[in-house]
Amino acid sequence: MRGQHADIVANTAKVISVIIVLSVAVPIIYVVYGAYESGIPGQAGSHLTTEWQDQVYGSGAYLSALTWSIVLGVVTATTATVIGGAFAWLLTRVEVPFRSLWQGVLLAGFALPPILATMAWTSLLAPNSGFINIWYNDITGRGNLIPLYSFATIAFVMTCVFVPLGYLLTAGAFSAVDISEEEAARTHGFSIRATLWHVTLRAVRRSMLVTWVLIFSISGQTFAVVVLLGAPANVQTIPELMYQGVTTGQIPLGLVTMLGTLLFWPALIAFVLLLFVQRKGDAVRVQPSLREGRWSLGRYHGPVLAVFGLYLAVSTLLPFAVLMLDSFLKYQTGHLTRSLFTLGNYTTALQDPDVLRALENTALLGVIVATVVVLLSFVVAYLQVSAPGSAAARFVEIVTAFPLALPRLGLSLGILWVTDSVPVLHRWTGSLILIAGSMILVNVGLGTRALSADMAQLPRGYVEAARLAGMGSVDRAVRIIAPQLRVTLVETWRTVLILAFLEIDLVVFLYTPQSETLSIATLLDLSQGLSNTAYPLAVMQVALVACALVISGAIRGWMRRSSRRWA
């Protein structure tokens, strides 16, 4: 019976991995094939050609766009990992008043994906009309304070977007560092800075490297910020060219697809680096903290909190306030008068059946994707932890990590062509089922990593006792391991839920009017100059994320109180 239970878990994880392999491999094959087609694969009169390869790889025409893509990914990953890691250190290792409030404000930054963050900073920094530049000019008469259309501003907006993810991916590693080791260093005369550098950061370096790789892979494939800010700044990236090529029709689809293959090379490098870092860390497993404790920063306490508080005010609270304010204005301007304020923007949006359908689609996709990802990730993580080092566990690890590194625009284009070309799948083109499946595919790796990291730290005594008592593998997973990971399961569900709410890179080539989401509706309104409806849609997205944070926070708090009550 035990063998049957073990086989069920292992075989289920293997089936999930095979499905992921097919779901990734087939679209990639279509992308590569389509890059050598004169038209869409399967289109009448289409033929094989090397014209697109010659244009992309045989000349330097797109070298600048590729360079900007890589540079933007490197800068964003570095700054977001450093700042996110600093917040993780502050909120897990340091005595901080109102810790839950700090964490709540930081995680609220998840509600500002690239498109919403760009909208907010455009309202603040638009030349001669942004709030900050107008106020600065009114006071000093020196024109604009900060240029909106520059690489520095693009990188700053991208950093603000990815810092919350950097925090989430590193907080677990920081909290697992044993306070005794840090106290020993301080006892031997180490300063706070030396202890942080030689003890704390040394213990979390693997997590920091993995976080950098993941953020580099995701941020380098994001197009929304560059679409809205890049042209005046002479910044073009490959994802932005692909989006413009498909939406405007000015670039042949074969050339767009060949451009997508350029993104596979940085993604492949990131994937190999990710596996290398994870495998190097297998021999040195982080041990759970032997006892709880936090640092006191002494005279640095006030300045450190002031710096972090200023960053949160600028990166999160200010953009939120601007989005809310703009949603009530008849038109965007930095000169405010009472006559500009109106509720008509919300009335128009909420009476539009397309907007209501987009709101429903967004909420439905988020709940379905988050729930399925957590279930699948738990099964895969259980196999990795229960059979570490086995061929099956290695295979599952590689398969689930690969979609994280894939360029989402290229993957979505390949999925679209598969459903268009295969008659059996054609009926699903543009459906919510197809979009949900694509989101699940790219998020399973993230969920697996979060759950396997915490699962590996659980005390093995209970599990081993249950095994000796005759409890099967499935029963051990459901009755022993899952209850101990309740908080982690809720946090993973919340993270994937928010990511699904705000996903745009994967959806932009897959949606139809019937499956449109709030992110797509906002982008379409902005591209058509309909800011009066775009800003209320942005606030609706923020409201969805806020609901997810409040509900998950309440559930997590109840679970922790229950655990203490029964401890």
419-446 pLDDT, tens per residue?
877 778 878 888 899 999 999 988 888 8
SS3 track for 403-436: HHHCCHHHHHHHHHHHHHHCCCCHHHCCCHHHHH
Per-chain mean pLDDT for the chain: 80
Q: What is the pLDDT of residue 389?
A: 62
Cα 170 from Cα 4, distance rounded (Å): 37
Cα 490 from Cα 13, distance rounded (Å): 21
Co-location of 147 and 273 in the same domain: yes
- Which of 183-197, 293-307, 431-445 has the largest mean confidence? 431-445
DSSP 95-141: --TTHHHHHHHHHHGGG--HHHHHHHHHHHH-TTTSHHHHHHHHHH-
Is the residue at 159 inside a domain? yes
Q: Quick one: pLDDT band at residue 1, thresholds 50, 70, 90?
A: very low
Is the residue at 527 inside a domain? no
17 or 107: which leads in pLDDT? 107
Residue spans of beta strands (DSSP E) within 277-365: none
Kindly tell me if the per-residue pLDDT of 565 is higher than 60. no
Q: What is the pLDDT of residue 181?
A: 63
Q: What is the pLDDT of residue 372?
A: 93
Q: Quick one: pLDDT band at residue 5, thresholds 50, 70, 90?
A: very low
Is the residue at 431 inside a domain? yes
Cα 334 from Cα 327, distance rounded (Å): 13
Q: Which domain holds residue 121?
A: 62-315
Task: Specify the residue for token string 């700044």.
Answer: 233
Is the residue at 551 inside a domain? no
- Name residues whose C-beta falls within 8 Å of residue 500's C-beta, 6 or more positions apart in sequence: 365, 366, 369, 370, 439, 443
Cα 492 from Cα 450, distance rounded (Å): 7
Kindly tell me if the per-residue pLDDT of 162 is higher than 60. yes
281 forms beta bridges with: none
Q: What is the pLDDT of residue 284?
A: 38
Q: What share of the chain in percent tops pLDDT 90?
A: 14
From 148-152, 155-159, 466-470, 555-559, the region with the lowest mean pLDDT: 466-470
Task: Specify the residue for token string 């396997």.
Answer: 452
94 forms beta bridges with: 295
From 175-179, 204-208, 333-337, the region with the lowest mean pLDDT: 175-179
Is the residue at 533 inside a domain? no
252 or 182: which leads in pLDDT? 252
- Which of 86-100, 149-163, 475-489, 538-552 has the largest mean confidence? 149-163
From 50-54, 93-97, 414-418, the region with the lowest mean pLDDT: 93-97
Select from 471, 494, 514 the last residue of a domain.
Answer: 514
Q: What is the pLDDT of residue 455?
A: 76
Co-location of 157 and 228 in the same domain: yes
- The 3-state DSSP class for residue 303 equals helix
Select from 468, 495, 514 the last residue of a domain.
Answer: 514
Q: What is the pLDDT of residue 287?
A: 41
Co-location of 236 and 111 in the same domain: yes
Q: What is the pLDDT of residue 250?
A: 78
Co-location of 101 and 172 in the same domain: yes
Q: How far is CA 356 from the centre of its chain?
A: 25
Q: Quick one: pLDDT band at residue 157, thresholds 50, 70, 90?
A: very high
Residue 55 vs residues 36, 62, 241, 461: alpha-carbon distances, Å: 12, 8, 14, 61
Q: Quick one: pLDDT band at residue 83, thresholds 50, 70, 90?
A: very high
Cα 506 from Cα 556, distance rounded (Å): 30
Kindly tell me if the per-residue pLDDT of 6 is higher than 60. no
292 secondary structure, DSSP code: -
Q: What is the pLDDT of residue 202?
A: 75
- The 3-state DSSP class for residue 335 equals coil
Q: What is the pLDDT of residue 292?
A: 45
DSSP 345-367: HHHHHHT-HHHHHHHHHHHHHHH
Q: Residue 318: is it exposed, middle or buried by C-beta count within 10 angstroms (0-12/13-18/19+)?
A: middle
Of the candidates 506, 509, 495, the residue with the CA atom closest to the CA atom of residue 545:
495
Q: What is the pLDDT of residue 285?
A: 41
Size (the chain), residues: 567
Q: Quick one: pLDDT band at residue 163, thresholds 50, 70, 90?
A: very high
Task: Specify the residue for token string 């977001």.
Answer: 80
Co-location of 32 and 147 in the same domain: no
Co-location of 9 and 69 in the same domain: no
Co-location of 161 and 31 in the same domain: no
Would you tell me the crossing angle of helices 531-566 and 518-527 to the nearest 10 degrees? 160
Burial track 123-162 (b if 16+ CB lie within 10 A, e otherwise): bbbbeebbbbbbebbeeeeeebeeebbbbebbbbbbbbbb
Q: What is the pLDDT of residue 463?
A: 62
Is the residue at 550 inside a domain? no
**In the chain, how many domains are there?**
2
| Cα 177-179-184 angle, rounded to 5 deg | 120
- By the 8 A CB rule, do 113 and 162 touch? no
Q: What is the pLDDT of residue 188?
A: 62
Co-location of 145 and 277 in the same domain: yes
Q: How many CB atoms lie within 10 A of CB 37?
A: 21
Q: How many CB atoms lie within 10 A of CB 305?
A: 17
pLDDT tens-digit series, residues 209-230: 888 888 888 888 888 899 888 8
- Which of 352-366, 459-473, 551-565 has the largest mean confidence? 352-366
Q: What is the pLDDT of residue 399?
A: 75
Rg from Cα positions in the chain? 24
Co-location of 286 and 424 in the same domain: no
Co-location of 407 and 487 in the same domain: yes
Mean pLDDT score, 59-68: 84
Helices and strands in the chain: count of H runs, count of E runs: 26, 0
Which run of H or E residues covers position 21?
Answer: helix 2-34
Q: What is the pLDDT of residue 329?
A: 87
pLDDT tens-digit series, residues 380-393: 888 777 766 666 66
Q: Quick one: pLDDT band at residue 363, thresholds 50, 70, 90?
A: very high
288 secondary structure, DSSP code: P
CATH number at residue 280: 1.10.3720.10
Of the candidates 459, 500, 498, 508, the residue with the CA atom closest to the CA atom of residue 481:
459
Co-location of 396 and 487 in the same domain: yes
Is the residue at 112 inside a domain? yes
Co-location of 91 and 232 in the same domain: yes
pLDDT tens-digit series, residues 525-562: 888 878 888 899 999 998 888 888 788 878 877 776 66
Select from 469, 484, 514 the last residue of a domain.
Answer: 514
Kindly tell me if the per-residue pLDDT of 291 is higher than 50. no
Is the residue at 219 inside a domain? yes
